Each structure stands twice: as structure tokens, then as C-alpha cells.
Amino acid sequence: MPLFVTSTGAPLSGEVHIPSSKYHAHRALILASLAEGTSHIRGHSDARHVEFTRRLLRGLGTGIVSGADGVTVTGRGYRPRRDRLSVGSSGTTLYFMTGLAALADRPVTLVGQRYFQRRPIGPLLAALRSLGVRLESADDRPPITVFPGRPRGGTVRIPGLLSQWVSGLLLLAPFATGPTVIEVDGELNERPYLDLTLDLMAKFGLHVAASADRRRFEIEPGQTPRPADITLPPDLGSAAFGLAAAAIQESDVRFRGLSSADPDLVDHPESEFLGVLDGMGLTMEPDPAGGGLRVRHDGSPLAPFSVDCRDMPDMLPILATLATFADGTSTLRNLEHVRLKESDRVQAMLQLNRMGGRLQVEEDRLLVTGVAGLTGAELSSFNDHRVLMALAVAASRARGRTSIKNANAYRLSYPDFVRDLAGIGVPLSAGPADGPVPAAPEPDETTIVARVAELARRRPRDRALVEVRPDGERELSWAELDDQAARVAAFLRKLGVRTGDKVAYQLPNWSEFVVITLAVLRTGAICAPLMPLFRERELRQTLGRAGAKVLFIPGTFRGRDYRTEVRSVMTEDLAPGAGLPLEDVIVVSPPGGRPRFADDGVLRWHDFAKVIEETEPDKTASRCLPDRTAQLLFTSGTTGEPKGVLHRHRSLDLAAEAQIRRAALGDGDVVFVPSPLAHQTGFLYGMWLAIALGVPQVLQAEWEPALALDAIHRWKVTFVQAATPFLADLVEESGRGRGPRSGPRTFVVTGASVPRALAERARANWGTAVGGAWGTTETCLGTSFAPDDPPAGQWGTDGRAVDKVEIRVTGDDGRNLGPGVEGNFEVRGETMFEGYLDHPEWTAAAFTADGWFKTGDLAVIEDGYLRITGRVKDVINRGGEKVPVAEVEQMLHDHPSVAEGAVVAMPDDRLGERACAFVVLRPDSELSFAAMRKFLDSHRLAKTYWPERLEIIDSLPRNAIGKVQKTVLRDRARGLRPHDDKETSGETEDVLGR
């Protein structure tokens, strides 16, 4: 997904709040983890680089607790919680921690993203081996297994190409059993980073004798670090982009927290950047009242400059942008190590020539001659955070629109980059390729948080929410909903939740779900709801991917003790991966229950009811903005690894508004929500849509058709969007004729096509308009029927494209196909997701070259109506829930009796599809249906994903090249039924009742 940038067209103004230094944060966290006792690090860094370090240290057993003013770190020796720990995509984490992993009490395998397959680490591993560190790596890249044992010391030589290699050795050497001498070969790059490492080591009581040229270091053995209090200075690496934007055009911008007189800032590795700006002639005045610097510039070209890139680590991209608008030719020298960063940054910045820039490479120098202006173009970030941000700053002075691929790269180091630059007047935001130019951020009044606040002021006593339970009902007014959300938001801020953090909650359709959603959004954090049906295996996967520090759970629900399951996730090695950063768990108990929770050394436990009672409402301004990420939902798709789908407020708002218009909804409607709120259908087309409309929503957590039908009648429900089984059960219950019954005016069926007979019965019973719709977690609804569509359009199709969305069908060659011709179904529009969490390559692969989302479905389009005809990939859609076939098959293959197996869809009248397992047994083995279920249960797989029929066969059908022919198996499964409806009824309720 690209980042779009257009010319500012007006002077920049406003202020930027500079985050804390990520360079200091990395080193301070690691050193604090090595010092037995408690250290305090004041200030926060939201950079994902730093989050990867925090996660790894937690995985090693380090206590890290976030607070309002920073983090408290408790060092207690490295005692890994599991065998495999991830460094994510942080080179700093990998280089610093590979050697230090030897201080753990058992072997640890460090894994990372595929990104490290392109980055050299061999010289560092060779140096660590010379010091006596025992490690194994197949190709001198992750995965790297490090064995316990202090290094022996000795003399080691290391190339000076990357300072992080040298810093990694310096951090480890004090723990050696003998003296260590580190000598640097060749050119020494990034010396300021080494000085920072030495300075912070000294603050923790570790001593290094360094030569004046920093080419030789002598370290005494057996040193013991001591805890320290560290204050993180501002991050010049992030501030540089706002400063550069202000330097290349007319501006009056304040940079809060940035002061050239700050002694910590003088020692910052990138402090020389301020000197470059000063030498160019940019006016930077102290702003004592605002606690920072004020930049006032008339927009005239500044003077050129000459810098040595060895002394300006990581700054080449933004320096190239500054030089492009300077009055003359600037020179950037010594480029070699710059080409070994996240990308070849020299080559990446030569893209400015496509916009009209004048950059050329001569030997080891980059010469940049200033130009009067640029023209917008299509560029690539090279998936490099600094390249993306530097190109975006340059594009702010370009005529027309610029699109930069891999829009989310900036999150790695500067999560608030888009917000901060948009806040001073640079129009930029993410969207699908070739889509319309996204608008600049709008005021807070457009968000659902502001909508609730407005309704609480205008209609405080009006009904906002009804919660239907078997033991009674509960109502909340708009004023009560807003007040409770403000209290929970205040509590989250006390726990240290900040803008961009993920807050997870695994709750049924209770009123607390809605309260927590609004509270999370008030803090500027990201909602990460998890399906209640998830058990330990899925919970570990999703919590690990989200990186959530806070989790809300029920005490008990439907016979499950969620507290025990969470404790198990935090202590058992159920799956490979990094340690979970989870710190606080808030338990939502049944009405009247006042449980007592004791912290267990791993987690802090809180009572939700107590939070509501004892926390004062947060009266500070909401941090909720339309272009800020609002939602993280996990979808299994066709693989076992969950995909984290990110949506902004704006895309969710537009999707809800499109369906409101399509379904002709108004302020007199009432929305019924039986679909799980942790699923996009319930979250967006139940809760979010009702709030956007300002109408009551009726929630039901445990699916009971009689209870649901009674609630629909009593609360005068008019609109429902849910999967086919919900409608089928309601129609069946209504047909029994017990008591007064009425149905909704409109029922939108998702997840499977609408059976014509079912739609006709609903219309006959209640006069309800029933029709189909198509959507995904990534796209929201792409198509939907309208209540005034003809019957053939309602029942035989998946509707027409909604507002803000385009649809098409293409052949395998990418050409558009005509009406009625089956092909690949693709969509694009303004309701599209922001991207997949931590996987830009997945995001890129999901779109065609011209910016259409590849749905994986086969379809035909006739007269504007969509009809899904099949699936490109093997997916089982069970009542709207996709079964991760590959993961289930892998588990079956792990059974000692199974030689091989395949799982395919088995048609079902009620749920659409169920899973059928075809299994080939090993010689002299046996496997019953009950034994298979017991085995899957022991692996903590969600019951919804269990196959509901087992077929033992002699061999799997294969084609000429040995590939399993699942089409043959699907044909065979068409005449099969679940083994026993009584046995599977409980699993059905897991889908519908949550």
C-alpha cells in the first residue's frame, strides 16, 4: 500500500512533539536487564525497533513494567521462558543480544524476519566465537542458537563497518572470565554510536578503557553492573524529518522537547544534524515557554553543505532531501557503510532524479545539486523507514501527487511520523494504489469517540445499548457509556498505554466490550479484540503478534476459566516465538461477583468492576484521529499463522456509512448484534454502525434462538447483519409459533450465499428483506444487497458494489472479463485496510500492480450484481469462520497413527461448510473419530476448527506430479454428513454463542 503525498500549498505551522531517543532506549533497556535490581528509564520510545528489544528481554525473564513516565526494569539474570526468541526486524536487537544470550541459563535460539537474510552478521559471529561464545548458525544468519556460558575473553578483531557489531562485543566483554581486547579493522564508521554505548555502560558501572580514536578497547573481566536511573533525551533521528520539512519551505513550527542546550542532546549520536542545519542558515530559536525549538523560515533556499557520512550515522536519506533544495551543490562523503543498512540507501535516494532532482554518485561521494522544485512520481521506500520518510518530506515540495510503496515502513522507528507531519500541514496518508488522493486528517469530531461524547451531551438518558443474557438484561445510556469509557481510558493511561499501543480483549458480546473499545480509542491506542473461542494455542499466537501489554478477559464464560488459560499461555511453551510483553490482565466478572486477584510475579491482575468504581473519568482530550490506526483484527485465512489486519478510523467510518446508505438506515433504527464483536461483522456492522447512527444496539453473547427472537420483538430491532445460521435458527424458532414474534426489517446475510427457501420464509414470516453481501476483514463490505432490489438480486447474488468501492473480475492474465464470465474477483476502494501487521510483503502480495485487492474468490458479475462461484485457494468457511486448513492438517500429521491426511470442505445446509478429514493410517495403526478429537483438544486447537467427520482411506488421490487432488476429495465429501449431530452441537454453539 503506498503513502500518498501532495504539495503543501501553504506555509507549515503548528508543533511537533519529539519522541524519546530509540538509541538510548535500546542500550538502557539491555544494560538495565543485566544489572541485578531495579532500574528506572524515564521517557518512552514507541519505535518498533525498541519494542523488539523489550519483547526479547521479557522472553529472557527480565521484568519490564511500563508506567506513565517511563519503564521500570528488574534485572534478575537471564532465565528464558522458551527456547526460541525473536528479534523481529531489529538489527540493533540482533547485534546487541546475540552475544549476551550466552549469559542465559539454557540454550536460546534467536530467530528473526527474512529481512536478515540480506544483512551480513558473519563478522560478528566470528568475533563472538573468538571470545569463546558457543553458537550455531547454518549460514551465519538467524536462526542462531546460543549456548550458555560466559565468554573466556582474549583479543578479537572486528571490522569497523557497523558500530553495532562493536557495541555488541563491548556489552558482552565485562562478563568474560578473562580480560578482553577489541581491535577495529579498516574504516571506523558511526563513532558517535560507540561513544553512546560507552557512556551508558559507565552509568551502569561497567568500565571500558578506549583509545582516543576508538579503534582499541580493553575490558577487565568479571564486572558487575549496578542499577541506574536514566532519562532518555529527545530522538534527533525522528526530529530530523520535521526539521527538514520546515527547512525546505515557508514555516513556523515548534519542536517540543528539543533543545540545543540540552547536555544529553549534545552527546546524541545525531547531534551534528543540528549543526548542518545551522550551517545551512536555518533559524532555530530557543522556545523556553514551549520547552523546545522554534523554526521560522521564509522558504528561501538554504546554503549547501559537505558532511562525512561516517560521522552522520543513518542521516544520508534526509540529508539528500535537504541538499535537493539547497542553493548549490552538497557533498556526502564515505558512503560504503550506508549501502549496508536496511537498504542501499544511496541507490534508494537516487529516485529523487525521477522527480527532477540532480543527484549523482562519484566514487564514494554523493553529489547533490539543488533544484527549484520537484514533480510528483511513483517511488519505492525500499521497505526502509528512513528512505520512506525522507522521500515523503521531499514530495511535500513536489508539484502533483507522489506515491511511495510500502507505506508502513516508518512505523519501525517513528510511529507518529504521518500524524506529526500532517499536523503541521503536510498532506500525506496511506491508501490503495491508483486510488483517490486521501484527504488530510479531519478534526476529532468525525470519530465514534466524539460521536458518543456528543450523544452523551445531547441525549444523555437515551438508550445506547442493551445486553441480553439468559439471566436478564442490562441497559446503558449514552451518558453512562461515555462515563465508563472515560474511566477505563484513565486506568489504561495509568498502566502506561500510549498512542499506537495495542490493547487486547477476549470478551463475548457484553456491554464491557463496547466500553473498552471506546476507552482504547480515547487513548490513541489500537483495539485488538480476540475471539472468545480462541484457546491457549490461538491466544499465544495472536497476543504474540499484537505485542499487547494489557488484556481484558472474562473470569469465566460458557464453562471456561479464562484466567487459568492466560496463566498457561504465559508459562507454557505452547508455540515457538518471543516472550509475550503482556503485563496487566483485567478480569470482567459476572454481575455481583467481586473476585480477589493476586499478582503472581508474571502478571498484574485487576477487577474491571473496581476499575469502574474507583477510577476518575479522564477529562483530557481524546487522542482519537481519523487517520490513526484504530483496529487490529486477526484472520487465519488459509494458513496457520494469523494475519493481523490493520484499519484506520477513516476506513471503518466510510465502510459503516456505505452500509447505512445501502440499507437505508436512519435514526429510528435498532441494531441487533448476535455476531461476535471480535469479528468484523459484529465489530463494524453491529457496534460501530450503531454508534455512527446514534441508535441502540442489542447485544447477545450466548446464542439462543428463542431468547434472540424475543429480544428482537421486545426491543423493536430493525436491522441485523450476520451469517446464514443465525437467520436459519431464527426462522426455525419463529415457525414453532410460541409467543409473540416479529422480525427485523432488514437482514444482511454474510459468510455464505442466501438459500432462496430461507429468504422466502423470512419474508413470509416477518416481511423481512433478506439479501446477500460479500466482504473480508481486509476490505470491509465490498458488495451488499439493497432492500428495494428485485428478489433475484437479493437472494441469488452477493449484491452490488457499495459506495467508495469498485469491483471487477479478471482472467489469469489480468485482463477484465465480460459480464457473466467467471474469473478472479478483485476490489479496491477507500474502505481498504492499512496493511498486514509486521508483514509488508504480505500486503504487497495482496494487491495487483494497478492497486486492486486480490480476494482469492472466483466470481461472475452480471448487471452489476456479484455472484461468488468458488475459491481460488482451499478454504473451509464454517458459518462465517474460516478454518485454517494447513494448520489442522499439520496437527493431524503429528498424530502417531497418521501417515498422511487432507482436510476439505463438506457441504452443510446450516453452516454452509464443515471440515472433513481424509486420513491414511500407518501400518498396524488405528484412529477413531473420538481419538482424533481428543488429540486436537490436547493441542488446544479451537473446537470450531476440528473436523466433524473422519474418513479412513487407503491412499490420497494425487496427480501426475504427486500433488493431492483435493477436488476429488471434495466431490467424495459432498454426500457425507457429520459423524453425530449430538457430538458436534457443542462446537456449533462455539461459533454462534461465543
The backbone torsions φ and ψ at residue 465, rounded to the nearest 5 degrees and listed phi first, read -155, 140
**3-class SS letters over 487-552:** HHHHHHHHCCCCCCCEEEECCCCCHHHHHHHHHHHHCCCEEEECCCCCCHHHHHHHHHHHCCCEEE
Cell numbers standing for residue 99: 552475544
Q: What is the mean pLDDT of residues 631-657?
A: 83
- What CATH number is given for 648-873 in this structure? 3.40.50.12780
Q: What is the mean pLDDT of residues 535-563?
A: 90
pLDDT, tens digit (0-9, with 9 covering 90-100), for 307-339: 988 877 689 999 999 999 999 999 999 887 776
Rounded CA-CA distance 245/255 in Å is 12
**Residue whose C-alpha is closest to residue 391's, from 357, 415, 414, 360:** 357
pLDDT, tens digit (0-9, with 9 covering 90-100), for 182-205: 999 988 877 888 999 999 999 999
Q: Name, of 176-180, 395-399, 705-709, the range with top average pLDDT.
A: 176-180
Percent of all residues in the chain with a pLDDT value above 90, rounded to a whole number = 52
Q: Which residues pair with 964 in a beta bridge?
A: 958
Count how many Cα atoms sit within 13 Å of the Cα of residue 539 in the half-sphere of its side chain: 28
576 CB-contact burial (10 Å; exposed 0-12 / middle 13-18 / buried 19+): middle
The DSSP secondary structure of 750-817, one letter per residue, reads: ESSPPPHHHHHHHHHHH--EEEEEEEETTTEEEEE--TTS-HHHHHSS--EEPTTEEEEEE-TTSPBP
Unique residue bearing C-alpha cell 478534526: 443
Numbered residues of the known binding site: 22, 27, 91, 119, 163-164, 314, 341, 345, 386
Q: Are strands 472-477 and 463-469 parallel, antiparallel or unpaired?
A: antiparallel
Rounded CA-CA distance 737/742 in Å is 11
Q: Are 22-231 and 234-415 the same fold in CATH? A: yes
* CA Rg value for the chain: 29
Confidence of residue 985 (pLDDT cuts 50, 70, 90): very low
Percent of all residues in the chain with a pLDDT value above 70, rounded to a whole number = 89
Q: Which fold has domain 448-624?
A: Rossmann fold (3.40.50)
pLDDT, tens digit (0-9, with 9 covering 90-100), for 77-131: 999 988 888 888 788 999 999 999 999 999 999 988 765 655 668 899 999 999 9
pLDDT, tens digit (0-9, with 9 covering 90-100), for 407-432: 777 877 888 888 889 889 888 866 55
What mean pLDDT is reported for the chain?
Answer: 86
pLDDT exceeds 50 at position 889: yes
Q: What are the residue boundaries of the structural domains of the chain, listed by start?
A: 22-231, 234-415, 448-624, 648-873, 876-992
Higher pLDDT, 646 or 112: 646
Higher pLDDT, 883 or 353: 353
Which residue type occupies 328?
Answer: G
Rounded CA-CA distance 374/352 in Å is 8
Q: List active site positions.
A: 314
The backbone torsions φ and ψ at residue 968, rounded to the nearest 5 degrees and listed phi first, read -65, -45
- What CATH number is given for 876-992 in this structure? 3.30.300.30
pLDDT, tens digit (0-9, with 9 covering 90-100), for 936-954: 999 888 888 999 999 999 9
Which residues, 6+ apart, have CB-to-CB distance to 837 below 8 Å? Answer: 545, 546, 632, 643, 644, 645, 646
Confidence of residue 963 (pLDDT cuts 50, 70, 90): low
Rounded CA-CA distance 958/788 in Å is 48
CB 120 within 8 A of CB 165: no
**Distance between first and last Cα of the chain:** 34
Find the DSSP H helices in 355-401.
385-395
pLDDT exceeds 80 at position 886: no
pLDDT exceeds 70 at position 454: yes
Unique residue bearing C-alpha cell 498502566: 495
Q: Name, of 182-186, 377-381, 843-847, the range with top average pLDDT.
A: 182-186
Q: Which fold has domain 234-415?
A: UDP-n-acetylglucosamine1-carboxyvinyl-transferase; Chain (3.65.10)
Confidence of residue 575 (pLDDT cuts 50, 70, 90): very low
pLDDT exceeds 90 at position 781: yes
**Lowest-confidence pick of 181-195, 455-469, 747-761:** 747-761
Rounded CA-CA distance 50/44 in Å is 10
Q: What is the mean pLDDT of residues 806-830?
A: 92
Confidence of residue 782 (pLDDT cuts 50, 70, 90): very high
Numbered residues of the known binding site for 3-phosphoshikimate: 22, 27, 163-164, 314, 341
Confidence of residue 256 (pLDDT cuts 50, 70, 90): confident
**This prediction's pTM:** 0.58
Numbered residues of the known binding site for phosphoenolpyruvate: 22, 91, 119, 164, 345, 386
pLDDT at 408: 77
Q: Which residues pair with 776 in a beta bridge?
A: 780
pLDDT at 2: 81
- What CATH number is given for 22-231 in this structure? 3.65.10.10
pLDDT at 641: 67
Which residues, 6+ apart, have CB-to-CB distance to 449 below 8 Å? Answer: 485, 518, 521, 522, 622, 624
Q: What is the mean pLDDT of residues 923-947?
A: 92
Q: What is the mean pLDDT of residues 779-791?
A: 91
C-alpha distances (whole Å) from 188 to each of 161, 166, 269 are 6, 10, 14
Confidence of residue 984 (pLDDT cuts 50, 70, 90): very low
Higher pLDDT, 329 or 340: 329
pLDDT exceeds 50 at position 784: yes
